[in-house]
């Protein structure tokens, strides 16, 4: 999009998105307006044997693409007015007005995706055949108008459409197609765990409260790592002062990282990311299973690892585990 007018409009959109500006009051009203539209007539689009429900009140404002692309995306929803504004100015309309897309991945494809940054892509569901569904969304401004005045005038419409796309569209998609909701973390912690359990097998160690580590070489981390990855969210808690007590340590040599899992005195789950010579990073962990404690997963993991060593007749603890033992 080369037009100076469109560039100016995009800058206005960025300003409107800042808390305290005009968009704030309009966004506050958007969820109620969206909920009302949801209760009215709807239009169903179909692709790949799946259906997407769009409120008729919004359907005329949207362009819904149902042709699958090479990335496995089979629904793409954009705002019609943004596309038209970009086209009028003679610019490139690709990406203008994009609100969201839905796509399907195989289990292998999902595992590969979880091992890297998934900005703009959220795992939302799975089906009985082993397919996983991703909700794709922009990470930048896609709102386009031919003038600043039009940008301000239509801000409420843009906000409502995005509120529907984020708050309702994928939830209805899951229910209408009989899918099972599922999420996975993609913070640094999630990426470490995904590479650990889905990458090339490696030796690792587990320890409790700074005790001698237990070596795990050939003992699969998969069932324990997946409990910590799926249905989990790890968010920065850098401003939280939290002392560790009764903590469990997982050392990943390939990533050169140590992860300390513990329950804070406030009862919440925490993970500390430790690199040799770097600053430590603290995360607060929340799980869809409200009763889950990460330390209980690590405790069971260590108990099973100990039983594995006893059965194999191999030593369970090590005096030293090499230069990557960041204890």
pLDDT band at 39 (very low <50, low <70, confident <90, very high): low
Q: Calculate what percentage of the chain has a pLDDT beyond 90.
A: 67
Q: Which helix (H) or strand (E) holds 180?
A: strand 180-181
Token pair, residue 158, equals 């843009």
Residue 43: Cβ within 10 Å count:
14
pLDDT at 246: 83
Cβ-in-10-Å burial (0-12, 13-18, 19+) of 284 comes to middle
Instruction: Tell me the backbone φ, ψ of residue 211, rounded to 5 degrees.
Output: -70, 175
| Measured distance CA(27)–CA(32) in Å, rounded | 10
* Structure confidence by residue, pLDDT tens digits, 199-235: 998 889 999 987 889 988 889 999 999 999 999 999 9
Token pair, residue 2, equals 């080369």
Cβ(302)–Cβ(248) below 8 Å: yes
pLDDT at 253: 87
| Measured distance CA(270)–CA(188) in Å, rounded | 14
pLDDT at 90: 74
Domain ranges of the chain: 4-181, 188-312
Assess whether pLDDT exceeds 90 at residue 284: yes
Token pair, residue 123, equals 């795992």
| Measured distance CA(38)–CA(297) in Å, rounded | 40
Least confident of 13-27, 247-261, 313-327: 13-27
Block residue for tokens 């991945």: 105
| Measured distance CA(280)–CA(66) in Å, rounded | 46
pLDDT at 240: 75
Assess whether pLDDT exceeds 90 at residue 89: no
**Cα-based distances in Å from 299 to 50, 84, 86, 307, 327:** 42, 58, 57, 12, 18
End-to-end CA distance of the chain: 52
Least confident of 148-152, 282-286, 315-319: 315-319
pLDDT band at 320 (very low <50, low <70, confident <90, very high): very low
Q: Please choose, from the candidates 229, 237, 215, the residue with its C-alpha nearest in 3D space to the C-alpha of residue 282.
A: 237
* Structure confidence by residue, pLDDT tens digits, 15-29: 343 333 223 223 333
Least confident of 161-165, 237-241, 288-292, 323-327: 323-327
**Cα-based distances in Å from 154 to 55, 148, 161, 305:** 19, 10, 11, 60
32-61: average pLDDT: 83
Pairing of strands 121-126, 132-136: antiparallel
Which residues make beta-bridge pairs with 214? 206, 317
pTM here is 0.84
pLDDT at 222: 97
| Measured distance CA(238)–CA(215) in Å, rounded | 30
pLDDT at 35: 43
pLDDT at 319: 52
Cβ(98)–Cβ(8) below 8 Å: no
The mean of the pLDDT values for the chain is 85
* Structure confidence by residue, pLDDT tens digits, 160-171: 999 999 999 999
* Structure confidence by residue, pLDDT tens digits, 114-135: 999 999 999 999 999 999 999 9
Most confident segment among 147-151, 231-235, 253-257: 231-235
* Structure confidence by residue, pLDDT tens digits, 183-204: 999 999 999 999 999 999 888 9
**Cα-based distances in Å from 171 to 59, 63, 135, 174, 213:** 17, 20, 10, 5, 43
Block residue for tokens 């699958």: 68
**Cα-based distances in Å from 192 to 104, 123, 150:** 23, 17, 45
DSSP 71-86: TSEEEEEEEHHHHHHH
Token pair, residue 189, equals 């912690």
Most confident segment among 76-90, 245-259, 294-308: 294-308
Most confident segment among 117-121, 234-238, 279-283: 117-121
Which residues make beta-bridge pairs with 204? 216
pLDDT at 38: 56
148-157: average pLDDT: 95
pLDDT at 100: 98
| Measured distance CA(17)–CA(262) in Å, rounded | 37
Q: Please choose, from the candidates 152, 16, 147, 140, the residue with its C-alpha nearest in 3D space to the C-alpha of residue 88.
A: 147
pLDDT at 318: 62
């Amino acid at each position: 999009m080369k037009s100076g007018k469109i560039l100016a409009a995009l800058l206005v959109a960025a300003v409107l998105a800042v808390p305290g500006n005009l968009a704030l009051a309009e966004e506050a009203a958007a969820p109620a307006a969206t909920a009302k539209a949801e209760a009215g007539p709807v239009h169903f689009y179909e692709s790949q044997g799946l259906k997407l429900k769009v409120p008729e009140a919004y359907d005329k404002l949207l362009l819904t693409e149902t042709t699958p692309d090479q990335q496995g995306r089979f629904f793409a929803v954009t705002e019609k007015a943004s596309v038209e504004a970009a086209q009028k100015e003679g610019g490139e309309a690709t990406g203008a007005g994009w609100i969201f897309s839905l796509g399907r991945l195989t289990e292998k494809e999902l595992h590969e995706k979880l091992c890297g940054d998934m900005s703009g892509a959220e795992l939302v569901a799975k089906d009985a055949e082993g397919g996983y569904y991703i909700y794709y969304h922009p990470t930048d401004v896609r709102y386009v108008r031919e003038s600043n005045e039009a940008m301000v005038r239509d801000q409420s419409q843009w906000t409502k459409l995005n509120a529907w796309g984020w708050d309702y569209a994928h939830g209805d998609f899951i229910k209408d197609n009989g899918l099972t909701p599922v999420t996975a973390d993609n913070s640094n912690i999630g990426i470490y765990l995904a590479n650990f359990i889905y990458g090339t097998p490696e030796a690792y160690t587990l320890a409790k409260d700074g005790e001698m580590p237990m070596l795990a070489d050939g003992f699969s981390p998969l069932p324990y790592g997946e409990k910590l990855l799926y249905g989990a969210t790890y968010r920065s808690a850098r401003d939280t002062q939290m002392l560790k007590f009764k903590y469990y340590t997982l050392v990943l040599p390939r990533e050169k990282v140590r992860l300390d899992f513990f329950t804070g005195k406030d009862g919440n789950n925490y993970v500390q990311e430790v690199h040799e010579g770097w600053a430590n990073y603290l995360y607060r962990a929340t799980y869809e299973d409200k009763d889950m404690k990460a330390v209980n997963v690590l405790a069971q993991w260590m108990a099973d690892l100990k039983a594995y060593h006893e059965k194999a007749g191999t030593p369970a603890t090590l005096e030293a585990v090499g230069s990557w033992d960041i204890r």
